Amino acid sequence: MQQPPPRGRRSFWQWYRAQTRFARIGLGCASIVVALLLCTVALTVYGSTLPPLPKTAQSPTPTTASTQAAVLATPHPTATPTAVPTATPTTAPTAKPTALPTPTPSTVTHGTPRLGGPVTDFINTYGKPDSGCVTCASGVYNFKRYQGTGIDYISTLLTDANGNTNAFDVQAPPNSDWDTSTASAICESFGPSDVNYDHPVQVLQSSDGVIVEKVYKSTWLAGQLDVSDFQDSNTTSGSTDLAAGTFDISYSYSDGPSKVSDCVLAAGIERV
C-beta separation of 252 from 209 below 8 A = no
> For position 157, what pLDDT does the model report?
93
Query: pLDDT digit string (tens) for 241-256?
Result: 788 999 999 999 987 7
pLDDT at 83 over 80: no
> For position 73, what pLDDT does the model report?
46
Read off the pLDDT of each residue in 19-27 and give the average, rounded to a whole number: 68
- For residue 222, the SS3 value is helix
- Choose from 73-87, 92-106, 135-149 the range with maximum mean pLDDT: 135-149
Measured in whole angstroms, the distance separating CA 232 from the mean position of its chain's CA atoms is: 48
Cα(98)–Cα(249) distance, rounded to whole angstroms? Answer: 35
Query: pLDDT digit string (tens) for 182-236?
Result: 999 999 999 999 999 999 999 998 888 899 999 999 999 999 999 888 886 555 5
DSSP 15-55: HHHTS-HHHHHHHHHHHHHHHHHHHHHHHHHHHHTSPPPPP
C-beta separation of 253 from 211 below 8 A = yes
- Choose from 18-27, 149-158, 211-220 the range with maximum mean pLDDT: 211-220
> For position 41, what pLDDT does the model report?
72
Nearest to 197 by CA among 208, 210, 185: 185
C-beta separation of 116 from 193 below 8 A = no
Cα(148)–Cα(141) distance, rounded to whole angstroms? Answer: 19
> For position 191, what pLDDT does the model report?
97
Question: When comparing pLDDT for 15 and 184, which is higher?
Answer: 184
Nearest to 151 by CA among 179, 137, 172: 172
Nearest to 245 by CA among 204, 195, 205: 195
Phi, psi of 24 (to 5 degrees): -60, -40
Q: Map out the domains of the chain as residue ranges.
A: 15-46, 119-267
> For position 242, what pLDDT does the model report?
83
Q: Distance between the two ends of the chain, CA-based, in angstroms?
A: 199
Mean pLDDT of all residues belonging to the chain: 76
> For position 254, what pLDDT does the model report?
84
> For position 71, what pLDDT does the model report?
41
Q: Which of 65-69, 132-136, 257-261 has the weakest average pLDDT?
A: 65-69
Question: When comparing pLDDT for 72 and 112, which is higher?
Answer: 112
Name the CA radius of gyration of the chain, rounded.
60
Q: Is the dihedral of CA 119, 125, 128, 132 positive or negative?
A: negative
Within 13 Å and on the Cβ side, how many CA atoms surround 152?
A: 22
- Say how many residues make up the chain: 272
